[in-house]
Amino acid sequence: MQVEFQFNDERAICDIAGHETLLAVLRDKLGAMEVKYGCGEGACGSCVVLVDGNPLASCITLCASVDGTDIMSVKAPDPPGAWALLKDRFAAHEGAQCGFCTPGLLASCFALVQRGEKLTRQEIREALSGHLCRCTGYHHIVDAVEEAMAIWPTMS
């Protein structure tokens, strides 16, 4: 079957079979290698992308089901600058070490920041509880998100 969706502001038209996951199509057909396989259970968060603005685990999302949606990864064009802001703060606080969980994590952070959420550190931790990071101990990640949340309203 054919599915059509926007991926990072480009139209993607893919011939797929019903069983193919969004993760498989993004990686194997569209070459979006920033979307990572980490567990296949939707549990680790490394494969998260934004589907119509909502963070979804692409490894447990069937590609056929995202027909007609607008999908974004960390490589999305970024005129308002929310991705750039997050990337900058993550780099400045070293919110990534091995970096494998980072693109998925940033997708969830992007949704939080764009909603204009202003969360406490504990609320940020809860909001990110669907992402596992094994390197940073989370502290620097929370630093980065907290700062991005504070800065974003002044940019948008």
Partner 1 sequence: MHCEVFGLYPYPFDYFRPNTLEEALVLAQGDGMKFLAGGQSLVPLLNLHVAEIKGVVDLQHVASALKFVQSQQDRLRLGALWTHDELSHSSLLGGRCPLFSQAAAFIGHPRIRRRGTLGGSIAHADPLAEWILVMTLLDPQLILASAKEERQLPFHDYLLGPMMTALSDDELITAVEISLPEKATYGFTEVSRRPGDYALVATALSVGWDRDRIAQADIAISGVSDVPRTFPSISRDMCQEYPSHGLVEHIKHAVEAAVDPPSDVLAGASYRRHLAGILVEKALHQAFDEMSNAGETAAKSIGKSEGERT
Partner 2 sequence: MANDVLTPQLSVIGKGVIREDVRKKVAGEVLYSADWVMPGMLYGKLVRALYSHAKIKKLSSQDARHVPGVVRIIEAKDVPVNQFYDDPSGLGEKVAQHKVFQDDEVRYAGEPICLVIAKTPEAAEKGARAIGVEYEPLPSIHNPLDALKDDAILVHPGGNTVVQWNVHKGNTQVAIQDPNLVHISRTYRTQFVDHLYLEPESGVGWVDNDGIVTLRCATQVVEHYRNIARMLNISENRVRIICPYVGGGFGGKEDMTVEPYLAIAAWITKKPVKMVWSRQESLQARPKRHPFVMTYDLWAKPCGDVVAMKVDVTGDAGAYALLSPRVLFAAAVVATGPYHIDHVDVTSRAVYTHNVPTSAFRGFGAMQMAFGYEQIMEEMAQKLGIDSVGFRRRHFIKKGDTLATGEIQDTAVWLNETLDKVLNELGEAPVTDDGSKRIGIGIACTMQPYGRTVWFQDHASCWLNLESDGSVILRTGVPDIGGGQAASLCQIAAEILHVPLEAVRAYYGDSALTPLAGGTFATRQLYMSGNAVVKAAQELQEKIDHVLKTAWGDEGWQWDEEGMAYSPSGLRISRSAVYEAANALHYPLSVHTTFHAQSGEGYDNKEGRAVKTFPDFTFGCHGALVEVDVQTGTVKVLRYVASHDVGVAINPLSVEGQIHGGVVQGLGYALSEEVLYQDGQCVTALFSQYMAPTAEQMPDITAIILESHEGKGPFHARGIGEPAIAPVAPAIANAVANALGPSCRVRSLPITAEKIWGELSGLDGSKI
List interacting residues with partner 1 (CB under 8 A): 1, 17-21, 23-24, 37, 40-43, 45, 48, 54-57, 59-62, 64-65, 67, 108, 126-127, 129-130
**Site residue total, partner 2 (CB under 8 A):** 52
Nearer to partner 2, 27 or 55 (CB): 27
- Our finding on whether 125 is near partner 2 (CB under 8 A) is yes
Cβ proximity to partner 2: between 70 and 132 the closer is 132
The residue among 54 and 156 lying less far from partner 1, judged by its C-beta, is 54
Angstrom distance (rounded) from CA 83 to CA 113: 9
Site for partner 2 in 38-57 (CB under 8 A): 38-41, 43-44, 46
Q: Tell me how far apart the 2 most distant CA atoms of the chain are, in Å.
A: 45
DSSP characters for 29-77? IT--TTS--S-SSS-S-TTEEEETTEEEEGGGSBGGGGTT-EEE-TTS-
